[in-house]
Amino acid sequence: MSGNSASSRASIDIGRFLLSIWKPLILGGCLGGMAGIGMYLFLGPIYSANTQVLVSKKASVPINDGEANRFGDRGDHVELIKSDLIIEPAFKKHGLNSVPALATAYDPYKNIREGMAVSRSAGQENSFDNVFDISFDHPDKEIAKTVVQAIVESYRDYLHETRDENSRQMYDTLLNRQKKLSDEIAKLEKDYREFRVSAPVFLKASPIVGANGVPVPPQSRYEAELSSIEEEQNEGQIKQSGIEAKLSELKRRRERGDSRESLEFWVTYSLSTGTGAGKSASSGGGAGALSGPPEKAALDQQFLTARLLEQGLLHSLGADHTDVRNVRRQIDTILNSYAQQGLTPPAYQRSSNNPADARNHEGMDLISVYEETLKSQLEELKSIAKNLDIMREDAEKKAKDAELYQVEDQRLKDDLSIKKAQLSQVFNQIATYDVSKEQEGYRMKQIAQVRIERSLKRVIKIVGMFGFLGIGLVFILSYFREWMDTRIKNVDELCKLSETTLLGSIPKFATTPDSERLAKETGLTSALVFLHRPGSREAEAFRTIRTTLFHGLRNNEKVLQITSAEPGDGKSTIAVNTALAMAQAGKRVLLIDCDLRRPTLHHLLGLPQEIGFTDVLLNEIQWQNAIRETPSENLSVITAGLCPENPAEILSQVNLPALLNEMRSEYDFIILDSPPVLAVSDPAILSPHVDGISLVARLKKNKRAAIVRAMETLRVHGANVHGLIANGLDMESASESGYGYESYGSYYNEDESPKAPQNPSQRPRPAEPTEIIKT
């Protein structure tokens, strides 16, 4: 550990530091408070004018059924009242400009704002009623009252003007909205008329009601026409398929080589059953049905049947036969029906020849007629199918166009309906505006007159400020002093700094009249507390050191050197009292004053200085002859003797180990009182020849750097430092460090009478009166 500047200062424990200066802090606060009172008396009092206003939200009636009442929102009025929006009208409209003290200020608005306080004392945001406290502080009570009243009136004007302005804005907004909606409706109506003019006429279908009474969406005229065409196409395809099937079957039978009778039978059977002829086949004439209206299809079926029957009869009968004539009359009737209904009859040529003869001459018979009839019907169905395809394309296009026009028509109607509904709502709002405008805004009432009272805030502010200033000043000065003071303050700091064991702590010596009297009678200094006050806390502290040394020293360790860092640390006093404590414990102790420059032991014990350790070192006498007895039976002392000119050289030239070994054989413990480590080199010369060193440090005297340098010096010379002894421990430091001797005061007998020496005749005569040495 180096003795640099870093080791000369330690970190300050703020908590412990504050506890150590609590009395100066209180004194500083009191002095600061007194200075604050004086400053308040010098500046004079401040008067506070205050009043209360009630601000209520008007109970508005909702214009619409779904509109909720809005109220509250007065929390921002606390700051609003202190703003220039209220303060400026108070100057211009309510007379504050006529007050010279206010009007001539550098920033009058700021002065008003800083001196005014506004708070809400009752009500919440969602309450209809709020109460505001308004106050203003000023040295002149009349000015304070004038300002408060002017602010109240300005705030009242603001509420009325805001309501009127909001009402005007609302009315203008409604009128603008009405005009805009009217223009939009006129434009939409014009656009709808133009659309209807350009759009084709589309007939609406009648609504359809289902079997359960539920309305069914009706089909438009174009959708119904398209469905009818699709149905006719399906029927034509079925008929065409039936005819193609009969032609294929007839061809197959011919190729198979069926007989004519078999073919005629199949034709007759086909005509009678109507197989493969679609819906008309169920009536017995499926093969002869043509596509077209139902009346023509029925006539075609009847005509084909009668024609085939005629051909069948002519095979076996003549033309004049009654059955043949009846069939021909039936054919004539069918042909007349064609003419009556305006239909084109099929080609017919009556023949009187036998069908067999006709087949031989013309190649026609029943089977051929049936085949030709089917082929003509198939061609007619194909022609009709082409026409239906064209009609379907046209119907689909018309249906799509109709759907698009209907969608656009509905959109225009919806837009027009929405705008008309909005216009109707605006009309209702305008109609109810005169009623609702009186229900908007706030209602203000001053519920307390302006009262004047002396303000305590200024007293508290000034006195408190000066009080804290005094406390802060004391703290800063104390902290600076503590930071600059590098002395060791307590035992904990000493232990951390030295990094070694603490053997004990000695409290500050307290003298009593008895100890002073006994010191004069015996010639022994009052610092020998172990003799004069054996029951004191100081004597008990030396017993603690004695016990620590007994347990810390080994059996062969007898020579103990007691030194300090600097002069005046009390090492000699501690050495004498420690030796007395050991001697009282029954140990034979030899105390040697090795301080050959400023010897002290002979003053403490009242012994003559001559013939001492210097003479022994110079080999002028044997060490046994230099021993002097003391009031303690087991304690012997060798004083320093006369001070030589070169003590360091004398200590270096003498065979100290041999001398100390001789003393070991005679005594249990040998205590060497050596000079301070930092003052001279003598302790460093002695340190290698002793068994252990105890370093004495005086609290609140030794600086940190001194202890650090002393420890470094001893360690450099190979000294065995057993520990430190803290001297000068006061009661406050003792309590903080856990050495609270005051807490165990009942264990000490401060009034115990000193014991007289056992062999007074052997005690040396008192030395000549000398000045008291500082311990």
Residue 707 burial (10 A CB sphere; 0-12, 13-18, 19+): buried
Per-residue pLDDT, averaged over 666-688, amounts to 92
Q: How many CB atoms lie within 10 A of CB 239?
A: 28
Which of these, 268, 263, 288, lies nearest to 276 by C-alpha position? 288
Query: Are 675 and 569 in contact, with CB atoms under 8 Å apart?
Result: no
> Within 13 A of 732's CA, how many CA atoms are on the CB side?
9
Range picked from 649-663, 718-732, 745-759 for highest mean pLDDT: 649-663
CA separation, residue 617 to residues 130, 640, 655, 675 (Å): 101, 10, 9, 16
- Is residue 295 a contact partner of residue 341, using CB atoms and an 8 Å limit? yes
578 burial (CB, 10 Å; 0-12 / 13-18 / 19+) is buried
pLDDT at residue 709, as a whole number:
92
Strand extents, DSSP E, 500-651: 502-507, 559-564, 589-593, 628-629, 635-638
Say what percent of the chain tops pLDDT 90. Answer: 14
Question: Are both 46-173 and 491-762 of the same fold?
Answer: no
- Residue-level pLDDT at 363: 40
At 641, phi and psi to the nearest 5?
A: 80, -170
Instruction: Please report, to the nearest 10 degrees, the dihedral formed by the alpha carbons of residues 611, 615, 617, 623 taken in order.
Output: -50
pLDDT digits (tens, 9 = 90+) for 138-163: 888 888 888 888 888 888 888 877 76
pLDDT of residue 41: 79
State the DSSP code for 534.
T
Q: Chain-centre distance of CA 450, in angstroms?
A: 45
Please state, rounded to an integer, the average pLDDT across all residues of the chain: 78
In angstroms, the CA 603 to CA 572 distance is 10
Query: Residue 620 contacts by C-beta under 8 Å, 6 or more apart in sequence?
Result: none
Round to whole Å and give the CA distance between 11 and 724: 22
In this predicted structure, the answer to whether residue 756 has a pLDDT above a threshold of 60 is no
Hey, what CATH topology would domain 46-173 get? Answer: Alpha-Beta Plaits (3.30.70)
Torsion over CA: 676, 678, 679, 684 (sign): positive
Check whether 703 has a pLDDT greater than 60: yes
Query: What mean pLDDT is predicted for residues 607-630?
Result: 91
Separation of alpha carbons 111 and 756, rounded Å: 85
Banded pLDDT at 209 (limits 50, 70, 90): low
- pLDDT for res 485: 76
What are the residue ranges of helices labelled H in 44-124?
77-81, 84-92, 100-103, 108-115
Predicted confidence (pLDDT) per residue in 321-367, tens digit: 888 888 888 888 888 888 888 777 776 666 655 555 544 444 446 67
Contact 192, 416 (CB under 8 A): yes
* 666 or 351, greater pLDDT: 666
3-state class (DSSP) for residue 717: coil
Give pLDDT, residue 256: 87
- pLDDT tens figures, 465-502: 888 898 999 888 888 887 787 788 888 888 888 788 88
Q: Beta strands 669-673 and 692-698: pairing type? A: unpaired
Residue type, 447: I
Q: What mean pLDDT do residues 397-405 have?
A: 79
Distant-in-sequence, close-in-space partners of 347: CB < 8 Å, separation ≥ 6: none
Query: Which DSSP helix (H) or strand (E) runs through 138?
Result: strand 129-138
Does position 575 have pLDDT exceeding 60, yes or no? yes
pLDDT of residue 2 exceeding 50: no
Say if pTM beats, i.e. exceeds, 0.75.
no
pLDDT of 732 higher than 70: no
Asked if pLDDT for residue 654 goes beyond 60, the answer is yes
Residue 230, pLDDT score: 84
Tokens of 75: 């929390």
Contacts for 43 with CB less than 8 Å, ≥ 6 apart:
458, 462
User: Which pLDDT band, with edges at 50, 70 and 90, does 239 fall under?
Assistant: confident
Pick 124 or 674 by higher pLDDT.
674
Nearest 5 degrees, angle CA 381-CA 385-CA 390?
155
How many CB atoms are closer than 10 A to CB 504? 25
pLDDT at 349: 65
Q: Give me the pLDDT at residue 759, please.
A: 42
The predicted model gives 399-411 an average pLDDT of 80
The predicted-structure confidence for 247-288, as pLDDT tens digits, reads as follows: 888 888 888 888 877 877 787 777 666 543 334 433 334 434
pLDDT > 70 in the chain, percent: 78
* Alpha-carbon distances of 740 from 369, 500, 639, 735, rounded to whole Å: 148, 21, 35, 4
Domain ranges in the chain are 1-29+458-485, 46-173, 221-398, 491-762
Under a CB-based contact definition with an 8 Å cutoff, are residues 81 and 113 in contact? no
Q: Which of 70-74, 190-194, 573-577 has the highest mean pLDDT?
A: 573-577
E-strand spans in 397-541? Answer: 442-446, 451-454, 502-507
As to burial, measured by CB atoms within 10 angstroms (0-12 exposed, 13-18 middle, 19+ buried), residue 219 is middle
pLDDT at 523 over 70: no
Least confident of 101-110, 329-338, 482-491, 733-742: 733-742
Alpha carbon distances (Å) from 143 to 102, 108, 150: 9, 13, 10
Q: Is the pLDDT of residue 69 over 60?
A: no
Does 359 or 111 have the greater pLDDT score? 111
Instruction: Tell me what the mean pLDDT of segment 548-563 comes to.
Output: 89
Given CATH 3.90.650.10, say whether it is the number of domain 491-762.
Answer: no
Higher pLDDT, 342 or 637: 637
Specify the pLDDT at position 562.
94
Q: How many helices (H) and strands (E) does the chain have?
A: 28, 15
Strand partners, 690: none
pLDDT digit string (tens) for 164-178?
A: 666 666 667 778 888
Query: Rounded to whole angstroms, how far apart are CA atoms 483 and 492?
Result: 17
Chain centroid to CA 170: how far?
42
